[in-house]
Copies of this chain bind each other. A is one copy, B any other.
Amino acid sequence: MSLFVMKFGGSSVGSAERIMRVAERIIEKKEEGHQCVVVVSAMGDTTDELIDLSRQLSDQPPAREMDMLLTTGEQMSISLLSIALHAKGHEAVSYTGWQAGMTTDATHAKAKITDIQPQRVLDSLEAGKIVVVAGFQGISKDGEITTLGRGGSDTTAVAIAAAIKADACEIYTDVDGVYSTDPRIVKVARKLVEISYDEMLELANLGAAVLHPRAVEYAKHYQVPLVVRSSFTYNEGTLVKEDAVMEQGIAVRGIAYDKNVARISLIGVPDQPGVLAKVFGSLAEQSIDVDIIVQSGITSEKTNFSFTVSLTDLEKALAVVASIKDAVPYDEVSSETNLVKVSIVGAGMVSNPGVAAKMFDVISQQGISIKMVSTSEIKCSCVIDQEKLTEVILALHSAYGLDTNQTAFVGGPKDRR
């Protein structure tokens, strides 16, 4: 008997019919002799509908009240799923975030979990019940209802799995695993059998939407084995764990891309101490995340530098840059959009020095210019024109031996491990 946390997203419980299907899926697991804690998100479009309703009342609803509003979405799903499980003859009990002991800090809309006291969950498991827990929500120590922000239900699932020492946390979603890259672009993208936490974290941060980075971080911290798999099929999913085995001869695990990127360049900035700190300090004060930063000297007195921000932050960032012109008297500022950041990720890169060089080579062979570069031990990112995305991804995927028709993949999933 194993103890599983199973997390189902909003589209998996988007209608009565789908809730019934999810119930069946859970019952199969239970009838295999396992204990099940299920974490669910709000049904389909519920959250968006609630947000719409609030917007009819206010442009700036208080975060506390939005948390009060949005947490009803998961409370509906947990009760409906429990009702479905009962209808199919299984004892089930639903718990809201606070009932499940999910304590968070008091930062509404993006609270962080500070403690979990899962006694009720454990008692109900002990009593043979299926436990259904509301994702995304918690309670502050002052008894305020909070939400965990984006990706919150994944985080809830992982956190509960850690707290109750589950054997695995299964994330059921509308794709059947983590792919080497976006299968909508690369038809021969491969589903990964395994991936390490670090690699998954990079992929998630770099644009792969299948798991939220916070959930992966949490899983890594508590060493919770994660499985990403489909709600709709029985295909084997992808296992996320500490030391994922690399397929032979392959240094790159996956290729991610992110279109939410814009470049700002400051030309002719006085080469003085504190200038960079002033620029990026001012951006940070406005909660603008800066990603890649590239500096290049032109004369001994002046320098140029470029940096990327989210496309959605561009206007705000340009306003900040304009506002500090007195303190940082640059000659010129320019910005560029229609960009994409393409990243290769793989734990093997650290021991294979040629991996990043190959990326530059492949891209330049396509006659495409690389605008910015950023590297870490397990990833390399290049910013290029968005219109070149498809050809670059296809070329990289093939060059790193990731296409499913390439020889590295002869054999079934087990052979590949």
Name A residues whose Cβ lies closer than 8 Å to a Cβ of B: 16, 19-20, 50, 53-54, 56-62, 64-66, 68-69, 71-72, 75-76, 78-80, 82-84, 86-87, 93-94, 96, 99, 120, 143, 145
A87 in contact with B58 given A53-B16, A65-B94 (CB within 8 Å): yes
A61 in contact with B75 given A16-B56, A120-B143, A143-B120 (CB within 8 Å): no
Q: Could you list 29 A-B pairs, sorted by A, with CB under 8 Å?
A: A16-B53, A16-B57, A19-B57, A20-B57, A54-B79, A54-B80, A57-B80, A57-B83, A57-B84, A57-B87, A58-B83, A58-B84, A58-B87, A59-B87, A60-B87, A61-B86, A65-B83, A65-B94, A66-B79, A66-B83, A68-B75, A68-B78, A68-B79, A68-B82, A69-B75, A69-B79, A72-B75, A72-B76, A96-B145
Docked complex Cα distance between A56 and B75 (Å):
17
User: Closest 3 CB pairs between A and B?
Assistant: A58-B87, A16-B56, A69-B79
Chain B residues with CB under 8 Å of A56's CB are 16
Beta-carbon contact of B93 and A64 below 8 Å: yes
Chain B residues with CB under 8 Å of A120's CB are 143
Chain A interface main SS type: helix
Docked complex Cα distance between A53 and B16 (Å):
7
Beta-carbon contact of B83 and A54 below 8 Å: yes
Other A-B contacts than A58-B84, A58-B87, A96-B145, 18 sampled, CB-CB below 8 A, are: A16-B53, A16-B56, A54-B79, A54-B83, A57-B87, A59-B87, A60-B87, A61-B86, A64-B93, A65-B86, A66-B79, A68-B82, A69-B80, A71-B75, A75-B75, A99-B143, A99-B145, A120-B143
Q: What is the CB-to-nearest-CB distance from A93 to chain B, in angstroms, rounded to a whole number? A: 7
Q: What is the CB-to-nearest-CB distance from A55 to chain B, in angstroms, rounded to a whole number? A: 9
Docked complex Cα distance between A72 and B58 (Å):
21
Q: What is the CB-to-nearest-CB distance from A41 to chain B, in angstroms, rounded to a whole number? A: 14
Of chain B, the residue at the smallest CB distance from A23 is B57
Of chain B, the residue at the smallest CB distance from A50 is B76
Q: What is the CB-to-nearest-CB distance from A179 to chain B, in angstroms, rounded to a whole number? A: 34
Q: Which of A16, A72, A86, A94 has the most CB of B within 10 A?
A: A72
Q: Which of A16, A69, A75 has the most CB of B within 10 A?
A: A69
Chain B residues with CB under 8 Å of A87's CB are 57-61
Chain B residues with CB under 8 Å of A72's CB are 72, 75-76, 79
Chain B residues with CB under 8 Å of A93's CB are 64
Beta-carbon contact of B99 and A83 below 8 Å: no
Docked complex Cα distance between A145 and B274 (Å):
57
Chain B residues with CB under 8 Å of A76's CB are 50, 53, 69, 72
Docked complex Cα distance between A145 and B100 (Å):
13
Chain B residues with CB under 8 Å of A59's CB are 87
Partner of A83, one of B16, B19, B61: B61
Q: What is the CB-to-nearest-CB distance from A10 to chain B, in angstroms, rounded to a whole number? A: 15
Chain B residues with CB under 8 Å of A83's CB are 54, 57-58, 61-62, 65-66, 69
Q: What is the CB-to-nearest-CB distance from A102 to chain B, in angstroms, rounded to a whole number? A: 14
Partner of A65, one of B16, B50, B57, B79: B79
Docked complex Cα distance between A36 and B50 (Å):
26
Of chain B, the residue at the smallest CB distance from A61 is B83
Of chain B, the residue at the smallest CB distance from A74 is B72
Chain B residues with CB under 8 Å of A65's CB are 79, 82-83, 86, 94
Partner of A80, one of B19, B53, B94, B143: B53
Of chain B, the residue at the smallest CB distance from A16 is B56
Docked complex Cα distance between A56 and B86 (Å):
13
Of chain B, the residue at the smallest CB distance from A67 is B79
Q: What is the CB-to-nearest-CB distance from A48 to chain B, in angstroms, rounded to a whole number? A: 14
Chain B residues with CB under 8 Å of A78's CB are 68
Chain B residues with CB under 8 Å of A20's CB are 57
